[in-house]
Structure 1
Amino acid sequence: MAGRRRVPGASVVALCLLLVSLVACGGGPAGDRVRAEVQALLDRRAGAVLDRDPAAYARTGTRDGYARLRAVPLADWSYRLTSLHRSGDTATASADLGYRVAGYDRSPVVTARTLRLSRDGDGRWAVESERPAEKSGQQLWDQGAVRAVTGSRSLVLGVGRPAEELRGYAELADRAVPAVSEAWGTRWPRRLVLLVPQSLEGMAGLLGSPASSYRGIAAVTTGETGTGARAPADRIIVNPDAFGVLGDSGRQVVLTHETTHVATRAHTTDATPLWLSEGLADWAGYRGTGRTPAEAAPELAHAVDRGEVPSRLPDDEDFRFAGAAGRLARAYESGWTACRLIADQWGEERLRGFYRAVGAHGRREGAVETAMRDVLGTTPEDFTRRWRDYLRTELG
Structure 2
Amino acid sequence: MSPGPRAVRLPPLLPLLLCLLLCVLPVAGCGGRPPAAGAERDVRRAVADWSRVPPERLAGIPLEDWAYEVRSVRLDGVRALVRAELRYRLAGYDPAPDGSAREVELAGDGGTWRVLADRPAPGAPRQLWDQGPVSVVRGAHALVLGGAGQDAETLRGIAAEADRAVPAASAAWPRPWAGRVVVLVPGSLERMAELLGRPADAYRGLGAVTTGRVGGGPAPADRVVVNPQGYAELSAAGRRIVLTHEVTHVATRAATSATTPLWLSEGFADWAAYRGGDTTPGQGAPALAREVRQGRLPGELPPDGAFAFGGEPEALARAYEGAWLACRLIAGRWGDAALVALYERAGREPLETALREALGTDPAGLLTAWREALASELRRPPERVR
Three-state SS of the structure 1 residue aligned to 2:135 is strand
Q: Does 1:372 align with 2:358?
A: no
Which residue is 1:249 aligned to? Answer: 237
1:44 to 49, 70, 73: 49
Q: Does 1:297 align with 2:285?
A: yes
Q: Which is helix-richer, 1 or 2?
A: 1
Which residue is 1:162 aligned to? Answer: 151
Looking at structure 2, the residues matched to 327 and 152 of structure 1 have their Cα atoms a distance apart, in angstroms, of 37
Which residue is 1:394 aligned to? Answer: 377
Three-state SS of the structure 2 residue aligned to 1:342 is helix
List gaps (5 residues or longer) in structure 1: 1-13, 22-27, 50-65, 362-366
Does the aligned pair in 2 maintain the 1:39–1:80 contact within 8 Å? no
Percentage identity across paired residues of the two chains: 50
Aligned CA-pair RMSD: 1.9
Q: Residue 308 of structure 2 aligns to which amino acid in structure 1? A: R
Which residue is 1:238 aligned to? Answer: 226
Structure 2 vs 1, CA of residues 370 and 29 (structure 1 numbering), >3 Å: closer, same or farther?
farther
TM-score, normalising length: structure 2: 0.88
1:35 to 40, 43, 59: 40
Alignment of 1:1-396 (within 5 A): 18=25, 30-49=35-54, 66-120=55-109, 122-159=110-147, 160-228=149-217, 230-361=218-349, 367-396=350-379
Distance apart, 1:373 and its partner CA: 1.2
Deviation track 1:259-278 (CA, whole Å, cap 9, x = no partner) reads 00000000110101111110
Q: Residue 184 of structure 1 aligns to which amino acid in structure 2? A: W
Three-state SS of the structure 1 residue aligned to 2:225 is strand
Distance apart, 1:393 and its partner CA: 1.3
Does the aligned pair in 1 maintain the 2:137–2:144 contact within 8 Å? yes
Distance apart, 1:351 and its partner CA: 0.2
Looking at structure 2, the residues matched to 277 and 236 of structure 1 have their Cα atoms a distance apart, in angstroms, of 16
Which residue is 2:13 aligned to? Answer: none
Three-state SS of the structure 1 residue aligned to 2:347 is helix
Equivalences, count: 354
Three-state SS of the structure 1 residue aligned to 2:107 is strand
Deviation track 1:173-199 (CA, whole Å, cap 9, x = no partner) reads 100111111110150000110000000
Looking at structure 2, the residues matched to 78 and 381 of structure 1 have their Cα atoms a distance apart, in angstroms, of 52
List gaps (5 residues or longer) in structure 2: 1-20, 380-386
Distance apart, 1:46 and its partner CA: 2.4
Looking at structure 2, the residues matched to 40 and 19 of structure 1 have their Cα atoms a distance apart, in angstroms, of 23
Distance apart, 1:135 and its partner CA: 1.7
Deviation track 1:238-285 (CA, whole Å, cap 9, x = no partner) reads 000000000111001000000000000001101011111101000001
Q: Residue 243 of structure 2 aligns to which amino acid in structure 1? A: L
TM-score, normalising length: structure 1: 0.86
Q: Residue 294 of structure 2 aligns to which amino acid in structure 1? A: R
Does the aligned pair in 1 maintain the 2:26–2:34 contact within 8 Å? no
Distance apart, 1:322 and its partner CA: 1.3
Distance apart, 1:353 and its partner CA: 0.3
Structure showing greater Rg: 2
Q: Residue 161 of structure 1 aligns to which amino acid in structure 2? A: Q
